[in-house]
Structure 1
Amino acid sequence: MQNILILGGTGKTGRRVARHVGAAGRVAARATGFDLGEPAGWAPFLDGATAVYLVEPNLQAAARIPRFVTDAVAAGARRLVLLSAPRAGEPGHPLHAAEEAVRTAGVGWTILRPNWFAQNFSEGPWWPGIRDGVLALPAGAGRVPFVDAEDIAEVAASALTGDRHDGRIYELTGPRAVGFAEATGLIAQASGRKIDYVDVAPEAFVERQTAHGVPVAVARLLTGLLADLREGRGADLADGVERALGRPARRFEDFVAGTAWHRDLS
Structure 2
Amino acid sequence: MTTNPTLVLGGTGKTGRRVAHRLADLDVPVRLGSRAGTPPFDWTDPAGWDPVLAGVGAVYLTYQPDLAAPGGAEVVAAFARRAAAHDVRRIVLLSGRGEPEAEHAEAAVRAAGVPCTVLRASWFQQNFSESHLVDPVRAGVVALPVGDVPEPFVDADDIADVAVAALSGDGHAGQLYELTGPRALTFAEAVAGIAAATGRDVRFTTVTTEAYAARLAAEGVPNAVAGLLTYLFTEVLDGRNAHVADGVEQVLGRPARDFAGYAAATAVTGVWKP
* TM, length-normalised to structure 2: 0.89
State whether structure 2 residue 27 is matched by structure 1 residue 27.
no
Q: CA–CA distance in 1 between the matches of 2:231 and 2:241?
A: 12
In 2, the alpha carbon distance for the partners of 1:98 and 1:233 equals 19
Q: Report if aligned partners of 1:138, 1:201 keep a CA contact under 8 Å in 2.
A: yes
Runs of at least 5 residues in structure 2 that lack an aligned partner in the other structure: none
**Contact map agreement 2:129 2:272 (CA 8 A) in 1:** no
Report the residue type matching 1:84 in the other structure: S
Among candidates 52, 73, 78, match of residue 67 of structure 1: 78
Residue 191 of structure 1 is matched in structure 2 by 198
Match in the other structure for 1:99: 106
Contact 2:98 2:240 in 1 (8 A): no
Q: 4+ residue stretches of structure 1 with deviation over 6 A?
A: none
Q: In the aligned structure 2, how far is the partner of 1:237 from the partner of 1:228?
A: 19
**Percent identity over the alignment?**
49
Instruction: Provide closer, same or farther for how the CA distance between residues 233 and 97 of structure 1 changes in structure 2, counting only shifts above 3 A.
Output: closer
Q: What per-residue deviation string (whole Å, max 9, x for no partner) do you get for residues 215-250 of structure 1?
A: 445433322321347643421111111111111111
Aligned residues: 262
CA contact (8 A) 2:197 2:267 kept: no
Ranges in structure 1 where 5+ consecutive residues have no aligned partner? none
> Are 1:206 and 1:216, in contact at CA under 8 Å, matched by a contact in 2?
no
Query: Take 1:259 and 1:145, find their aligned partners in 2: how far apart are those partners?
Result: 18
Separation in structure 2 between the aligned mates of residue 31 and residue 217 of structure 1, nearest angstrom: 23
- In the TM superposition, what whole-angstrom CA distance separates every residue of 1:151-188 from its partner, at most 9, and x where no partner exists? 11111111111231111111111111012222111111
More displaced 10-residue stretch of structure 1: 230-239 or 70-79 = 230-239
The SS at the match of 1:205 is helix
Q: Which residue of 2 aligns with 1:137?
A: 144
In 1, Cα distance between equivalents of 2:254 and 2:47: 42
CA contact (8 A) 1:146 1:173 kept: yes
User: What is the one-letter code of the residue matched to 2:92?
Assistant: V
Report the counterpart of residue 77 of structure 1 in structure 2.
88
Alignment CA distance shift 1:231-1:158 (3 Å): closer
**Partner of residue 37, structure 1:** 44
2:11 is matched with 9
- Asked whether the equivalents of residues 174 and 249 of structure 1 are also in contact (C-alpha less than 8 Å), the reply is yes
In structure 1, C-alpha distance between the alignment counterparts of 2:115 and 2:56, rounded to whole Å: 14
Q: CA RMSD in A?
A: 1.8
Tell me the amino acid that sits aligned with residue 200 of structure 1. Answer: V
User: What is the CA distance between 1:148 and its match in structure 2?
Assistant: 0.3
Asked whether 1:239 is paired with 2:246, we answer yes
